[in-house]
Structure 1
Amino acid sequence: MSHVEPDEEDRAATVPDLELLREVSRRVLWLSAAIVDAANRGRPGDGTKVGGHQASSASMVDVMVALWFHQLTALDRVSVKPHASPVLHAVNYLLGDLDAAYLPTLRAKGGLQSYPSRSKDPDPVDFSTGSVGIGATATLWAAIAHRYLRSRFADAPPAGRFISLLGDAELDEGAIWEAVADPQVASLGELLWVVDLNRQSLDRVVPDIQIQRLQAMFDAAGWQVVTLKWGRLISALFQRPGGDLLRERLESMPNEEYQRMLRVDSSEVAERIMGDDGPPELQTLLQSLPTPHLAAAVRDLGGHDLGLLVDTFESIDDHRPTVVFAYTVKGRGLPTEGHPNNHSVLLNEAQMRALADATGADLEDPWAPFPEGSPAAALAVRRQRELARRPVGLTGELDVPDSLGRPYRKDVSTQTALGRLLADLVRDAPGLATRVVTCSPDVASSTNLGGWINKTGVWSVTERRDWFADDAQRILRWSESLSGQHIELGIAEVNLVGLLGELGATWSRWGERLIPIATLYDPFLNRALEPWSFGLYAGGQSILVGTPSGVTLSPEGGAHQSVTTPSIGIEQPGCTAWEPAFAQDLEWCFLHAMKQVGVPGGTSAYFRLSTRPVDPTLARVPEDDLMRERRRRQAVGGGYRITAHAPADEDVVLVGAGAVMPEVLAAARTLEEQGVVAGVVCLTSADLVFRSFQQRGSRGTGEGSGILDLLLPPAYPAPVVTVVDGHPHTLAFLGGARGDRIRCLGVSQFGQSSDLADAYALHGIDAFSIVEAALDLLGR
């Protein structure tokens, strides 16, 4: 881990002025509340709620001020909890990294996003958050991605700490614990999580946060656990006579009772603490304290003590990951402080004026910066300079060939073809191969990554001895080191796509292009769907391979047969979905997809592959170089026509994708024997063909924009039968291409264990069912 260290003569300047930090904290509190207020009271509306989270922001203000105005370096990266986005924007504004014109634009078109967004916010945002738990774990995967970069490329830029600021309710998310439990994480000393422990969720005061259980879970995973429960003001009271009783009373008090105490008049606080039978020593202590002092002391939690926060962040052991549980008050400093229903409550005008008075702000001039020449202004200028980052350069041009020229003569599955392609890259395109990193959730061998792993090795955070190196019978050489190019995770698809997203963001974070490729069993794509989608939203570019897919994996039974994934691929923004049938198509399309990854304006890809061996000659790939190139361009455009019939002569068109193409072609031959001319269209990407369908008649242009007219020429309508090993509605849009009558065949029921022929017949995607559908459309 690398940090920016100040020069020795500048160290004195870094000693925090706590009163100055408190002044900054008051201004950040005001701005974060005013940003939400302007979006609601200050903006003409149409009756739709704008919303925002003033209380959730308030509890995080002091933690973020301690970081941005003292602790962070330019090399650090921070993920901010979703509901604290106004605090992030307030901090960026005070540091000069956000124009004041944006402050009233929260949740407006072209303005500040509802939750921090790397790609859509106008100010610096390190990690997109908003999907609870996923933004928090992103720092973990970013730390691994950066370590991978530094181990592979000596000139990769350094990094500092990877920090997550997360709400305590996020710890309910399973994604958190899947990530924490990964064995590699215990070595990530650059990882710091700060939990905003305000003990309130969206609807209520949490009855029992079970902090001991959470502490034990992190500790068991190898993390350093730090708990900041009380600030120094009240801790001093604990040292006085009767202070041990005060501490015991407060720490045994249920969360609800504590929160209620924050809502009463300060004159009632001592009585609330005493309860019905408080001991005399406690009463003596309470009576000795001025009422304002006691009211302030009971609010003095560790997450609001700026001096304690600064000291804690500076003293963290950087040899293992650290979690800091920072006790806070939800709504700290607001009129809604501690209210059980303050999560989405908005301050009214009178309350905003009261807050302005308390923080030294002005509701009529809410965006006033620090006075010029003031210590606060000088601090902001200095911190902006210290946090300024060097512009990110980009990896030079990477030569990605259109084809590797491998001949495909024997029956081979697309899954096997992918394994061979990756292994061939090391020899045929070594420059490209160095930028490829693969990962999988304990299914590397069963998804055919063995050849690649044998050539490139397995990457690990630390070097590990290979105890099977002398085993002559070993086929897969599982040698773990810092020089490997495959990262293996446990059986946790959420972790897989989390890492994939961050590996796919290194080009924009540090200017180092990677081409991350992840393999998982296709039916388990649904497990990872939300974090995968969120990673794409956050700007990660990668290739996800789902294999094996569909009922084609017949003996495995219904639990391993994916049905909805073809349409998921079509519907996923920021990604192109592919389902090639033949090995040659897979090679062309995969290399094409690799060109799009890790570049400005690039896109991710999802490949749905199969373990079914398919005869490559069925594709009828032209031998002539020019016609072969034409076929390649059609394949990467979304599809091609296999049969040589003129469209004008066709009675029916059979359209297939993926592993069912042998059945489609067999059906065409049977129809020909019955005197029916059947054209055959092989789709490599229903996604691109659908885009072509959408672009018809529009002024826009895009990838695959003309392919549909080539596949289904408008001048020659004919009935269409579509076939896919997935839900039949995947290709139903083709009925609108020319207004043809259409029959869509596919899988709409759960499968069962069987052989391939029985599986296809059971779901009506066998050759006989295709023939029958075609004849039905023709009235034969």
Structure 2
Amino acid sequence: MNDTSPAATTDATTPAHLADSTELAALRDISRRVLWLSAAIVDSANRGRPNTTGIKVGGHQASSASMVDIMVALWFHTLTDLDRVSVKPHASPVLHAINYLLGDLDPKYLTMLRAKGGLQSYPSRIKDPDTVDFSTGSVGIGATAALWAAVSHRYLASRFPDTPPAGRFVSLLGDAELDEGAVWEAVADPQVSGLGELLWVVDLNRQSLDRIVPDIQIERLRGMFAAAGWQVVVLKWGRVISELFARPGGEELRRRLEEMPNEEYQRMLRVDSCGIADRICGATGSADLKGLLASLTPDELAAAVRDLGGHDLGLLVDTFDTVDAHRPTVVFAYTVKGRGLPTEGHPNNHSALLTEAQMRALAASCGTSLEDPWSTFGTGTAAAELCARRGQLLRRSPCAADPPVAVPTSLGHPYRKASSTQAALGRLLADLVRDAPEVAARVVTCSPDVASSTNLGGWINKTGVWSASERFDWFADDAERVLRWSEVRSGQHIELGIAEVNLVSLAGELGATWSRWGRRLIPVATLYDPFVSRALEPWSYGIYAGGQSILVGTPSGVTLAPEGGAHQSVTTPSIGLEQPSCVAWEPAFAHDLEWCFLHAMSEVGVPGGTSAYFRLSTRPIDPALARVPQDPALRERRHRQAVAGGYRLRTVPPGEEQVTLVGVGAIMPEVIAAADALDGMGVTAGIVCLTSPDLVFRSFQQRGARTVGGGSDIVDELFPPHSAAPLVTVLDGHPHTLSFLAGARGDRIRCLGVSDFGQSSDLTDAYRLHGIGTDGILDAALTLLGR
């Protein structure tokens, strides 16, 4: 099977047996029942439910079958209630079957795979009714989630002594998932090599969705993991065939099986058992090899060539019990896709469904029936007793939650000098340590090697950089150093390499600690806004899986115009508005940033909370332009409007407003200047400053909705129906982001923004190039007015 290296076959074939024969017999019975149940769950969803849509329900019986023995060994022998496991997406029926046997899933759900209110197509931590530790629908990304959960728990334990303990963090992934770049970004991160609680098991069935993978370069994969500091274990052959290898002709048998292409090996699995010996020997087999094969019946030989390490329960449990606990471990377990099914080893078995006749044959081989598909083991049997014992052992008690921590609505410091929102974020975090220490203790920042350039320097100087182990600071006595990079276990900033996927994956797991271990964190991840798109899928995955975090994209837009188009984001405002379970913000002024950011922090790490995305700028803006009221009541009204999505900068008597200028973020000085210019021309212009187009859109959407409750009425405050006027919207991002405002009152609208790649220039030239400067806004307003 494309691997002739002796080292790849000797890692884990001979450890001492740690499981006794009685337990192994029970494990084999359970494995057969789990194989049946996982196939029956998919079968019931496809043949057992009415389907009038013409759209297939689907499922993955073959992908599940290759994982059965691995998962049975873990759940029914190895795992404790402290362990957390990420299960490959296509093996979700196996997970549900196991949970059912453990008493963790009501049998009514077994017929509800991929049905409303039932079992999700892929493991979902939030939506499935049974215990699921990690959502894994995003292939490759779910596998790394357990790694970042391990880092998150280590961070918690180093900061909060009362953190509940954790065990192993296990990822079960398909070999095709190793094609995903997210896997290698995570594996290669320097801090990962010290995580002895990590265990990855690769289901090496050598098939992807469409084909048999022609060449699994196991030695290359071994080398990549080993170079990153991982222990690598390869389970190629089971103990039955390994005993044959020790007989005369056995070494030749091993060599023949290991040198044949994957396609030839799997074709051999599809032929009649009487033809296997000829396929192995061919015309060149020695007398010893022929004698060895002749000593076996066809059925014995068929079983032997299928005796791969990933299907040897004794070898699996012994391996899992003896892995090194001081460094991460990856186990490559050779398996057969579709093991035990009629579709075993077929190149097109990925989503193939068994027929009724095939299901009946499978039921007979597994000791059950299609008429009573959900039967469990008889009382008093070893399998029943093992299921009951393991179910009790794996049952988890809820973790006690932290006492509530109130996030202040304002820190109360005046803003008198021109400041960018990026600088305001740095000041806010640094002030938080002094003004709200209980909240600050829950904040953890992280960045992909851009901490200083995203203004986290003051925060880091006050709180330190987190490291699993203390590191000596060789620059501590350097008087010229501005950023004090002291790496300690008490630090509150986690620095990663230049890997945005790692950043948001870690943020998602840091944001899930409140629901995993009852300890609230408020993760704040900063990165350059142009790279938000690169990080979007894993961040979206983290939100879907229940992780709440704050993502800060800065600098944004064309603020850094001299650096060229590669550092000028265009589509991120729209991306933020469209991301579920997240509120997107783009405040213009420092005090708006403080109000909105504190509000966003109050929503993170709590039941029913939400994530947030802040699009910030490096452009300094004079806070006086915001005209913040000095009267306490009016100031509080402005505060409420800011956190609701926006406010009006000018009060125009009803019916006198001729045009409304709507701005977002760093573009507000140009919006205000254009309004002043219009006033000089005798045109009365209203000014709307949006802090969150996202929240305004939600307010717009909920008008007239027939659902109970709803959001704010901020859209009507900003665009009162009795003061209709043409709209000019402008932002340093794609213009379509604000196009929905035309529907607020049915106004004519002109949307200005950035819809093309930028180039190096100064800011004035960049604004002129994209038509978002004062002149462009003025021209759009006059055009709408027919002047």
Q: TM-score, normalised by structure 1?
A: 0.98
Give 1:641's aligned residue: 648
Q: 2:46 aligns with which of 40, 45, 54?
A: 40
CA distance in 1 between counterparts of 2:235 and 2:140 reads 22
CA distance in 1 between counterparts of 2:444 and 2:263 reads 50
Q: 1:359 aligns with which of 356, 363, 366?
A: 366
Q: In the alignment, is the contact (CA less than 8 A) between 2:18 and 2:318 conserved in 1? A: no
Q: 1:329 aligns with which of 336, 344, 351?
A: 336
CA distance in 2 between counterparts of 1:12 and 1:131 reads 35
Give 1:591's aligned residue: 598
Superposed, 1:454-473 pairs within 5 Å as: 454-473=461-480
CA distance in 2 between counterparts of 1:89 and 1:439 reads 35
Q: 2:434 aligns with which of 424, 427, 430?
A: 427
CA distance in 2 between counterparts of 1:276 and 1:578 reads 72
CA distance in 2 between counterparts of 1:752 and 1:517 reads 30
Give 1:112's aligned residue: 119
Shift of 1:699: 3.1
Which amino acid letter does the alignment assign opposite residue 613 of structure 1? P
Q: In the alignment, is the contact (CA less than 8 A) between 2:37 and 2:374 conserved in 1? A: yes
Shift of 1:14: 8.4
Shift of 1:702: 6.1
| More displaced stretch, 94-103 vs 290-299 | 290-299
Give 2:692's aligned residue: 685
CA distance in 2 between counterparts of 1:109 and 1:389 reads 27
Question: Can you give the 5+ residue segments of structure 2 that lack an aligned partner in the other structure?
Answer: 1-16
1:139 matched to 2:146? The reply is yes
| More displaced stretch, 392-401 vs 171-180 | 392-401
Change (3 A) 1:744 1:214: same
Which amino acid letter does the alignment assign opposite residue 391 of structure 1? P
CA distance in 1 between counterparts of 2:351 and 2:151 reads 35
Shift of 1:393: 2.2
| More displaced stretch, 261-270 vs 225-234 | 261-270
Structure 2 residue matching 1:122: 3-state secondary structure:
coil
1:281 matched to 2:288? The reply is yes
CA distance in 1 between counterparts of 2:149 and 2:241 reads 38
| More displaced stretch, 347-356 vs 38-47 | 38-47
Q: In the alignment, is the contact (CA less than 8 A) between 1:583 and 1:616 conserved in 2? A: yes
Which amino acid letter does the alignment assign opposite residue 547 of structure 1? T
CA distance in 1 between counterparts of 2:654 and 2:599 reads 28
Give 2:575's aligned residue: 568
1:550 matched to 2:557? The reply is yes
Give 1:220's aligned residue: 227
Superposed, 1:17-166 pairs within 5 Å as: 17-45=23-51, 46-166=53-173
Shift of 1:772: 0.7
1:374 matched to 2:375? The reply is no
Shift of 1:288: 1.2
CA distance in 2 between counterparts of 1:709 and 1:482 reads 50
Q: 1:732 aligns with which of 739, 745, 748?
A: 739
| More displaced stretch, 448-457 vs 270-279 | 270-279
Which amino acid letter does the alignment assign opposite residue 409 of structure 1? R
CA distance in 2 between counterparts of 1:480 and 1:541 reads 26
1:257 matched to 2:281? The reply is no
CA distance in 2 between counterparts of 1:20 and 1:375 reads 6
CA distance in 1 between counterparts of 2:761 and 2:406 reads 45
Change (3 A) 1:52 1:767: same
Shift of 1:704: 4.5
CA distance in 1 between counterparts of 2:116 and 2:123 reads 15
Q: 1:443 aligns with which of 444, 450, 461?
A: 450
Shift of 1:374: 2.0
Give 1:517's aligned residue: 524
State the identity %: 77
Q: C-alpha deviations, 1:355-381, integer Å up to 9, x for none?
A: 001000100110112112322111111
Which amino acid letter does the alignment assign opposite residue 473 of structure 1? E
Superposed, 1:239-318 pairs within 5 Å as: 239-318=246-325
CA distance in 2 between counterparts of 1:571 and 1:456 reads 34
- How many pairs align? 770
Q: 1:183 aligns with which of 183, 190, 193?
A: 190
CA distance in 1 between counterparts of 2:261 and 2:287 reads 22
Q: 1:320 aligns with which of 327, 339, 347?
A: 327
Structure 2 residue matching 1:319: 3-state secondary structure:
coil
Shift of 1:648: 2.4
CA distance in 2 between counterparts of 1:16 and 1:593 reads 56
CA distance in 1 between counterparts of 2:710 and 2:323 reads 50
Give 1:383's aligned residue: 390
Give 2:424's aligned residue: 417
Shift of 1:277: 1.0
Give 1:722's aligned residue: 729
1:346 matched to 2:356? The reply is no
Shift of 1:701: 6.1
CA distance in 1 between counterparts of 2:267 and 2:641 reads 68
Superposed, 1:606-617 pairs within 5 Å as: 606-617=613-624
Superposed, 1:658-697 pairs within 5 Å as: 658-697=665-704
Q: In the alignment, is the contact (CA less than 8 A) between 2:19 and 2:318 conserved in 1? A: no
1:482 matched to 2:489? The reply is yes
1:748 matched to 2:755? The reply is yes
CA distance in 1 between counterparts of 2:130 and 2:21 reads 28
CA distance in 2 between counterparts of 1:147 and 1:400 reads 25
CA distance in 2 between counterparts of 1:607 and 1:314 reads 46
CA distance in 2 between counterparts of 1:106 and 1:458 reads 45
Which amino acid letter does the alignment assign opposite residue 155 of structure 1? D
Structure 2 residue matching 1:649: 3-state secondary structure:
coil
1:600 matched to 2:603? The reply is no
Shift of 1:293: 1.2
CA distance in 2 between counterparts of 1:647 and 1:369 reads 73
1:632 matched to 2:639? The reply is yes
Which amino acid letter does the alignment assign opposite residue 36 of structure 2? W
Question: Can you give the 5+ residue segments of structure 1 that lack an aligned partner in the other structure?
Answer: 1-10
Which amino acid letter does the alignment assign opposite residue 27 of structure 1? R
Shift of 1:671: 0.1
Change (3 A) 1:496 1:92: same
Change (3 A) 1:686 1:647: farther
Q: In the alignment, is the contact (CA less than 8 A) between 2:702 and 2:711 conserved in 1? A: no
CA distance in 2 between counterparts of 1:180 and 1:330 reads 26
| More displaced stretch, 365-374 vs 527-536 | 365-374
CA distance in 2 between counterparts of 1:198 and 1:462 reads 38
1:193 matched to 2:200? The reply is yes
Change (3 A) 1:689 1:635: same
CA distance in 1 between counterparts of 2:153 and 2:160 reads 10
CA distance in 2 between counterparts of 1:160 and 1:14 reads 24
CA distance in 2 between counterparts of 1:148 and 1:65 reads 31
Shift of 1:315: 0.3
CA distance in 2 between counterparts of 1:450 and 1:702 reads 42
CA RMSD across the alignment:
1.2
Give 1:3's aligned residue: none
Shift of 1:290: 1.9
Which of structure 1's runs of 4+ aligned residues deviate more than 4 A?
11-16, 701-704
Which amino acid letter does the alignment assign opposite residue 363 of structure 1? L
Give 1:5's aligned residue: none
Shift of 1:275: 1.6
Shift of 1:199: 0.4
Structure 2 residue matching 1:715: 3-state secondary structure:
helix
Q: In the alignment, is the contact (CA less than 8 A) between 1:637 and 1:703 conserved in 2? A: no
Which amino acid letter does the alignment assign opposite residue 593 of structure 1? A
Q: C-alpha deviations, 1:297-325, integer Å up to 9, x for none?
A: 00000000000000000000010000000
CA distance in 2 between counterparts of 1:117 and 1:764 reads 45
